[in-house]
Amino acid sequence: MKFQLPILILFAALFAACGGGDESVQAIVASGNIEDVRAKKKALSEQQKEIEKQIAELDAFIVANDTNKKLPLVTTFETKLEDFNHFIQLQGDVTTKQNVLIYPEMAGTLLAVYVTEGDKVSKGQLLARIDDGGMSSQLAQLKTQLSLAKTTFERQKRLWEQKIGTEIQYLQAKANYEAQQNTVNQFESQLSKFNIRAPFNGVIDNVIKDQGTVVAPGPGSEIFRIVNLSDMYVEISVPETYISSIVPGKKAKVHFPVLGKTIESKVRQTSNYINPNNRSFVIEVPVPAMNGLVKPNLTAKVEINDYNNPKAILIPQSVISENSDGEQYAYVASKLNGESIATANKVIIQTGKTQGDMVEVTTGLNSGDNIIKEGARSVKDGQEVKVIRK
């Protein structure tokens, strides 16, 4: 090669400069003169420094002229500003505030059941009727007495207005009429409790008691389960650390593993109470019925957006290393010469949120930096590398 001759000349000069140094050292040591030994050591040290300097020049010459040197092969990617949305993953159950068991308010035999499972019903619709034990007949008698009391009161009132009769007769007729009216109202209220009606629009999910069953108020006597699937939501317990970042209006992705379906939604409501047992608060994420596929108590996995950075720099977690001081760093390839040769520069970075394999870099990198990806674990700071294109 063209650089072999200067190297040979330099080595010859170095050898001549040493000039049988070994024999001279032996002769001086044999003389026993300490001053001569120190002088020889000083001379040799100066020669050593000169040799090291010349070797460094040789290395620089070789690096600059050796076209066959082997450089580490790396790949790079260019950083850019991206819209970064971070999500936390939680689990909850589908529920609805309109999922209730209907109990009888009065005891008696279930005379009639007017609906079957799966029927859609409207608020106030008659679902079943309980034997009233003769209260209907009593009410009819009371209404007859009320009619008589009303007629008596109206006639007594007219007479009193004509100054006929006494005031006490008028007041007695009025009190009797009002008492009869109150009695009828109470009986009608009591009698209405023997009719079981739908508390809201919904679907009869279960008919629990059959016609002819004796029922009574209290646990174990539920007659129907009625569900409204038009206002369902996923109820989720969220750790209190997210109380400031998860608020109504935050985006949410709801996945139903059993159905294999995912929908987009938003946080509708957050509770104002922290559960002291698990240090969490409850949120609601509304979900559609999806043609009846989504049902109360169905398990859902929910991803909730707790953080957003519209100008984030993201890099793969695999290119980040950590030094003995606990600092994280990555290698940036700066152009040295040509299109493929670069220098690997270690850059200390600080990271933020992580989403999947990507990490947000908050400080240390700029948009347009070329980050070493493949080969990042094997290069050293300041080392020349060869960038290959993929």
Domain boundaries, the chain: 4-65, 73-84+310-387, 89-97+227-308, 107-226
CB 299 within 8 Å of CB 257:
yes
End-to-end CA distance of the chain, in Å?
A: 33
Rg (CA), the chain: 47
Higher-confidence position of 21 and 334: 334
pLDDT exceeds cutoff 70 at 339:
no
**pLDDT (tens digit per residue) in 69-81:** 678 888 999 999 9
Tokens of 54: 């010349």
Of the pLDDT bands very low, low, confident and very high (cuts 50, 70, 90), residue 7 is: very low
Q: Which CATH code fits 107-226?
A: 2.40.50.100
Q: Which CATH code fits 89-97+227-308?
A: 2.40.30.170
Tokens of 143: 């209404």
Residues 84 and 74: their CA atoms lie apart, in Å, by 27
pLDDT exceeds cutoff 80 at 350:
yes
Give the three-class secondary structure for 373. coil
Position 241 scores a pLDDT of 93
Higher-confidence position of 173 and 8: 173
Second-level CATH architecture of 73-84+310-387: Beta Barrel (2.40)
pTM of the model: 0.55
Position 250 scores a pLDDT of 92
Give the three-class secondary structure for 88. strand
